[in-house]
Chain A
Amino acid sequence: MAAKNIIRFFVLLLLQVLVFSNINVNGYIYPAFYVYFILLLPFEIAGWLLLILSFLMGLGVDVFTNSLGINAAASVFTAFLRPGLIRMLKSKKEYEPGISPGIKDLGFRWFFFYALILISLHHSALFFIEAFSFKDILQTGNRIIASSTATLILVLLLQFLFYKQDKR
């Protein structure tokens, strides 16, 4: 379990800085796909580990993209809100031990809202910190909506891909 998450950490970090950070669609869409790592951390993870890992993930992306601290701040913010959100989104199945966040264990509906809310929070934090003001709020809003949508689609696609594989 731990090994899986460690591998995912590095794979997502490299994917982000080598692929997704280079996606340029009319300057608005910046899919911060690495947030997928935070989404998929197991339920029973200790709070401190959740925060530290998210921080390291953000910092890793920052070091590559010359945006020191911005992604780290947004990631820690997301990680901080995650336990509360999980408590709020009660599913029909209880969070039994051995269950992990994903379509496979908790169904599409649950995962869709979970991903939607966390990704929106993360991207809102990211783009507001990047702009560092509420001045161009409309432009920042557009960025948040466009990029969150892109990230959400990518996350759901990847979930389905692995869901299908596990079924076989």
Chain B
Amino acid sequence: MRNLIAFLWKNYFFFLFVILEVFAVFLIVNNNYYQGRVFFNSTNDVTGKILEKYNNLTSYFALKNANKILAEENARFYNMHPESFIKTDTLAFFVNDSIYLQQYKYISAKVISNSISRRNNYLKLNKGQLHGIKEDMAVVASNGIVGQVIEVSDNFSSVMSILNTNARVSAKLKTSNQVGSLYWEGEDYQMGKLVDIPSHVRFNVGDTVVTSGYSYTYPEGQVVGIVEGFDIDPGDSFFQIYVRFSVDFNKLYYVYAIQNIFKGELIDLEQSDIKE
């Protein structure tokens, strides 16, 4: 026993190294588990505060660009405003409010930290549980999708951006409505890859790719990007389509978190399908 202790003591540098590495690997592997999250959620509020303070300082320099983007967005909303339309046929514009039930709720938030150079990129937003943000909500910018909320604390939330090798988005070609799966390969922050589109489908370079709405997270028809090129391996019956993201992830200031109000209902329905 004394020899063992002496041995451990003599080589403590090595054993401490092993222990710390094992702990670090444990953290890495458990990174996606709820338990690991809960522990670091409390620190999230502290780091969030610091990042927000810093962001308040630096966001001043980005004001010009942010204004431009907001102005463009305003213009688009004006385009959708009823006053921008001429009534040509009164019947076509008959709207009975009780027919419409709101399905998506938008909450605006400011990006306080963001990265594009890692394999797994995350954003932090300056709103959290208290503002109505919940896990799994979709996050979009004014010109396209950004990611999905994975973690919320009281005042802040973490978003897994689609620039994350774990992220998958159900997307479709707008022209043909063919649905595939979109992901990021981890290299160029402007390019994604759309797979599972069968080889008989016709499309053009420059076609728009939008969300399919099948995942219940993103509303249908949110812009993802534009087809820039494609590949097909000999003997393969599916395209690999390269998509240029419409959002510039290096220039994100304000985003919207979107809640699908019926998500729970839809998932319950799906689960009862599986049981039968």
Residues of A within 8 A of B (CB): 17-18, 21-30, 47-48, 51-52, 55, 58, 62-70, 72-73, 76-77, 79-80, 83, 129-132, 136, 139
Which residues in chain B, 38-85, are within 8 Å of chain A measured between CB atoms? Answer: 40, 43, 47, 51, 54
A-B pairs with lowest CB-CB distance, top 7: A69-B27, A73-B24, A69-B28, A47-B13, A66-B122, A80-B17, A72-B24
- Nearest B residue to A69 via CB reads B27
Q: Is residue B215 contacting chain A, with contact meaning CB distance below 8 A?
A: no
**Residues B118 and A58 in contact, CB atoms below 8 Å apart:** no
Tally inter-chain residue pairs, CB-CB below 8 A.
98
- Chain B residues whose C-beta falls within 8 Å of the C-beta of A62 in the assembled complex: 27
Tell me the interface secondary structure of chain A in the complex: helix
- Chain B residues whose C-beta falls within 8 Å of the C-beta of A30 in the assembled complex: 117-118
In whole angstroms, how far apart are the Cα atoms of A70 and B120 in the complex? 11
Interface residues on B, range: 35 or more
In whole angstroms, how far apart are the Cα atoms of A69 and B32 in the complex? 12
**Residues B28 and A65 in contact, CB atoms below 8 Å apart:** no
Which of these, B12, B23, B115, B186, contacts A24 with CB under 8 Å?
B115
Given known pairs A65-B115, A130-B119, the reply for A48 and B16 (CB within 8 Å) is yes
Given known pairs A68-B36, A70-B28, A76-B17, the reply for A136 and B47 (CB within 8 Å) is no
- Chain A residues whose C-beta falls within 8 Å of the C-beta of B187 in the assembled complex: 27, 139
Residues of B within 8 A of A (CB): 12-14, 16-17, 20-21, 23-31, 36, 40, 43, 47, 51, 54, 113-120, 122, 158, 186-189, 250
**Residues B116 and A24 in contact, CB atoms below 8 Å apart:** yes
Which of these, A26, A47, A70, contacts B12 with CB under 8 Å?
A47
Which of these, B17, B40, B47, B188, contacts A68 with CB under 8 Å?
B40
**Residues B20 and A55 in contact, CB atoms below 8 Å apart:** yes
Quote the shortest CB–CB distance from B193 to chain A (angstroms). Answer: 14
Q: Which of B14, B20, B189 has the most CB of A within 10 A?
A: B20
In whole angstroms, how far apart are the Cα atoms of A119 and B239 in the complex? 41
Which of these, A18, A22, A52, A73, contacts B115 with CB under 8 Å?
A22
**Residues B189 and A27 in contact, CB atoms below 8 Å apart:** yes
- Chain A residues whose C-beta falls within 8 Å of the C-beta of B158 in the assembled complex: 66
In whole angstroms, how far apart are the Cα atoms of A21 and B124 in the complex? 14
In whole angstroms, how far apart are the Cα atoms of A58 and B27 in the complex? 12
